[in-house]
Amino acid sequence: MSQTEIVIPSPLKNRLSITTVMTIISIALAIAVGLASTLNPFLVLAVVVFFAIVVLFGLLKLPNFIVIFVAFVIYTNTSVVMIKFHGVPPTLGYALPLLLVIPFLWELIVNKRQVKVNLVFVLMLVYLSILLLGSAFSRDISLAMPGLINYVTEGLGLYFLLTNTIRTPKLLKNVVWSLLIGGAIIGGLSLYQQVTGTFDNNYWGFAQVTGRGFTADETLQGAVIQPRVSGPIGEKNRFAQVMLMLVPIGLFLAWGEQSKRLRLLAFLLTGLAFVGGSLAFSRGAQVGLLLLIVIMTFMRYIQIRQLLIIVLGIVLLLVAFPQNALRFGSLEAVFASEEEGGLRSADGAIQGRATEMLAAMFVFMDNPIVGVGPGMFNYEMAEYSRIVGLRNIISTREAHSLYPGVAAETGLLGFITLMAIFIFTLKGLAQARKYWLARNNTQLANLSTGFFLAIISYMTTGIFLHFAYIRYFWLIIALSVVVSGFKESDVAGELEAVDERSGV
């Protein structure tokens, strides 16, 4: 049986074919959507989500479904959207990832699995100890506690539960598909928003637009402002970063699929996620995309003729949305000479970021061992911006760059530990790619490569973005460690289980 086939529980298999079941579900769904649309547009989304949950619940085992569902909720930021826009109690919304405890216990008790503790998890515990030490020596431990708690819940806890619940390649693939579907949904909403110009509609909170935007053109009637979409996250640059990570994962998932339909579907979902993310007009994401193309060319995944097609696609994107070229061109001021004005000739955003990065470096030099504590750079910003002298910032601001930001808040010890997590995760993925290529398993080899490039894209965009919304980062790190930990016995065991259910 191929991996694309759905195994129906035996009681159902004796009575109904999968075609009949899906036909009944489709008719019921069409009727429900029709009724909901006459009452409230939000009900349409609620009904679709409800039926999707019912279908998935029926076709997948409960523990597996929970893992897939939680991954989807995290990447689409559904919990936060429900809290912010739909009145869901914060306790309930933020506790949703705790559902992973159910499949975790299932693996331990029912499947009698051992708890996994790997090198990356040990490094994460070391990082936690550094955060604790930094909090203890910070100017106000109560201000540092939210950052510490955030790491424990959205970093350490999420990583531990995911790496101990995703035990098979098939479940990992299903999780990846859920991320792509989620990315396509929110990317597609942003694309629709741009095409229709409905920036005043946040589409239930999943297509937010924050900030004034930027000047895209000058006319006799005045400046033409281009809004920047920020998806369900509510922060435009972060939205672009999150969508960019899906691009290599989706491409390599598609290249590893044997089914032409699944391959085409993966390309379509990846395209929607990419286009939606590009409408955030993030300069950092544009740099990250160019680096991905260069790396994939050197790795020979992109041939010269394919590179020409990619260049043509980028040109078409720029023709459709010339605002991207305008935003990217503004980076030129960063490299301007002193005679041309240097950084002082750059726009306010670039000057502000340069000030924040330099201020973070000064904070690090004054607190080199464990930093000023998690989340505490905010409260040092105003004082150190005066030392930089480029732009006076009086409000609390982030470092706007992962590397000096982490150095300022966790010191040299924290910075080295986090870089070690990057390095060992990338090393594991590179070894997994080599391992599976030697065994002609293109699917796992491609997934390893996709996650490798996703982390590279995060590290590149991290030059321009501080270490926040960490649930996305640790989700990708956890899935990367999972795929790099599979061995041939895992694939063989999965095939044996399929054979047993098929009666072979």
Q: How confident is the model at residue 25 (pLDDT cuts 50, 70, 90)?
A: low
SS3 at position 216: strand
Partnered with residue 222 across adjacent β-strands are 219
Residue 394 has pLDDT above 60, yes or no: no
SS3 at position 231: strand
Whole-number pLDDT of residue 307: 72
b (16+ CB within 10 A) / e for 284-314: bbbbbbebbeebbeeeebbeeeeeeeeeeeb
Q: pTM of the prediction? A: 0.82
Residue 279 has pLDDT above 50, yes or no: yes
Mean of the per-residue pLDDT values of the chain = 81
- The torsion region of residue 203 among left (phi > 0), alpha (psi -120 to 50) and beta comes to left
Q: How confident is the model at residue 499 (pLDDT cuts 50, 70, 90)?
A: very low
Residue 41 has pLDDT above 70, yes or no: no
**Could you give the count of Cα atoms lying within 13 Å of 446 in the half-sphere of its Cβ?**
20
Whole-number pLDDT of residue 338: 39
**Could you give the count of Cα atoms lying within 13 Å of 488 in the half-sphere of its Cβ?**
8
Whole-number pLDDT of residue 206: 95
Whole-number pLDDT of residue 93: 72
Mean pLDDT to the nearest integer, 389-412: 79
Mean pLDDT to the nearest integer, 30-42: 55
Task: Give CB contacts under 8 A, 24+ apart, made by 364-369.
Answer: 364/404, 364/407, 364/408, 364/411, 364/412, 367/408, 367/411, 368/411, 368/412, 369/411, 369/412, 369/413
